[in-house]
Structure 1
């Protein structure tokens, strides 16, 4: 794991965007297509604003969320909405969005079809991950009843999860798929989260799911 600290959030966003663009360009030299996995939340928005203008062959890039709340795309809590509004614009409008939501009441009803659309594009070329102060990443929450299954080395590509701390069902790429990314960037803000990251390295993966994806990752943070 490599740690990079920045003096401010704008500098971090620009640098992370440049690193992602470089990783994608390298991946496209070696494969017909490259998959970029990105988080929702507030931190990645400025990264998307910079990344969307990167000069690379976006028509060969597949963009997928690391996780999604099981809500329609027009819902205020939809991560898909954020990606379409902030990333899939400018040059990046040519990229293909791989859905992590379907119009069914429960995620289990759409799970097989969603996984079938993802599998041909694996492994992930570049995974961008966030982290909560509770040490979760994607929707791998320590208070999820399904956390052990989602961390298992033989887990499926996707799992529906219902953490006790969250108001709705979610769907997430499992730790196996996230950790298999060719390049991994963990991005967060705040000393409290750096303290949590340091703590995570001394806990089990079930207690600190972020620890399951740190091997070989670059951590970007600012206070």
Structure 2
């Protein structure tokens, strides 16, 4: 199936509205995947907007035993560092539901970007197409840890990131190619600071976020930006 570069834009009038819409989208994707494949493979984003959605998921009713959780990127910091995406997701959601620990796949970024990426690529080896990838959008247009001006590395399913323009410099990201190997993509974009990146995206400027596509297109959930 050829990739469909079409992005579908959805605007919401409040933070609560976008959070609820994202929650329902995730739960629906889970139900559909479990019915079709017997399990649900979700890739999480970091950031404040996803955190609010994860807090809602912590109170949701779902067949948690069938969920498999991955992260699209993480920072090379100690496991318990406040800026680790895995720590945020566990505290907001994963520690509060009955997903088997063996089905929560944190990126071992504490090993450093090279060793950690190699280990996570092994974790992803043989894993089927993801069901839903959740992504954010940086003010510079980056997503996951795919940054402007950096070479796109698709040499493995998880790759090291050097010289990130945002500290820490060393990170690990799932590669563009592997993120695209998914049935659905949902971007969560909130705040006026993202306006320029959204304008670039909608005007056809090549920003890293536009590298992420799926055969079923991409849905961009927006609050606090204007679609021009």
Distance apart, 1:74 and its partner CA:
0.7
Q: Deviations over 1:82-137 (max 9, x none)?
A: 01001204335446211211543x22124333212122333111111000110000
The aligned counterpart of 1:18 is: 24
Match of 2:165 in 1: 165
C-alpha contact (below 8 Å) 2:71/2:107 kept by paired residues: yes
SS at match of 2:153: helix
- Looking at structure 2, the residues matched to 193 and 102 of structure 1 have their Cα atoms a distance apart, in angstroms, of 27
Q: Which ranges in structure 2 are unaligned for 5 or more consecutive residues?
A: 1-6
What's the counterpart of residue 184 of structure 1?
185
Matching residue of 1:3? 9
What TM-score results when the alignment is normalised by the length of structure 1? 0.87
Structure 1: distance between partners of 2:64 and 2:48: 23
User: Whole-Å Cα distance in 1 between the matches of residues 91 and 15 of structure 2?
Assistant: 20
Aligned counterpart in structure 2 of residue 148 of structure 1, from 144, 149, 152: 152
CA RMSD of aligned residues (A): 1.9
Of residues 37-46 and 183-192 in structure 1, the stretch that sits farther from structure 2 once superposed is 183-192
Give 1:196 deviation, angstroms: 1.5
* Rounded Cα–Cα distance in structure 2 between residues aligned with 1:53 and 1:120: 31
Supply the distance in 2 between the matched residues of 1:92 and 1:8 (Cα, whole angstroms).
Answer: 30
Q: Which runs of 5+ in 1 are unaligned?
A: none
Preserved CA contact (<8 Å) 2:67 2:99: no
Q: Deviations over 1:188-208 (max 9, x none)?
A: 11244244123135223xxx1
Normalised to the residue count of structure 2, the TM-score between the two structures is 0.85
